[in-house]
């Protein structure tokens, strides 16, 4: 039985570069259109500044970067879901559920990031003053 998939090389720098370009343009387009993504990015900058000022440990900074990356990644996935669902003008129950579930995933990640931030930063802020 012959495969119907095109015969592609396992690895190609040209394809790798293209995938980075596509990813970059997806992030750029999302930043232009998505208010919540911009809010998350603003908080990321503020948290990085606070991390430097309060001199958090490398381990704490790693945790901050991981939870921040999770929130921003999920916001991009949510944007993809919303745009894919919105192609169809008729919103079904399933489409609404997909959009709501994507938003819920971002909310849970954001709440988790806030809790982690409070655990790391509150003691540092108390010690700072």
Catalytic positions, written as ranges = 75
C-alpha count within 13 angstroms, C-beta hemisphere, residue 100? 7
Closest to 69 measured CA to CA, from 18, 110, 111? 110
110: tokens are: 């954001």
């Amino acid at each position: 039985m012959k495969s119907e998939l095109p015969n592609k090389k396992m690895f190609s720098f040209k394809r790798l570069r293209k995938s980075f370009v596509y990813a970059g343009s997806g992030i750029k387009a999302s930043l232009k259109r998505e208010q919540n993504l911009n809010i998350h990015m603003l908080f990321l900058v503020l948290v990085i500044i606070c991390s430097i000022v309060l001199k958090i440990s490398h381990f704490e900074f790693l945790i901050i970067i991981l939870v921040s990356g999770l929130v921003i990644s999920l916001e991009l996935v949510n944007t993809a879901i919303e745009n894919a669902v919105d192609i169809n003008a008729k919103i079904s129950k399933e489409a609404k559920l997909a959009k709501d579930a994507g938003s819920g995933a971002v909310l849970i990640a954001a709440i988790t990031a806030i809790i982690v931030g409070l655990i790391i930063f509150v003691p540092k802020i108390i010690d700072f003053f």
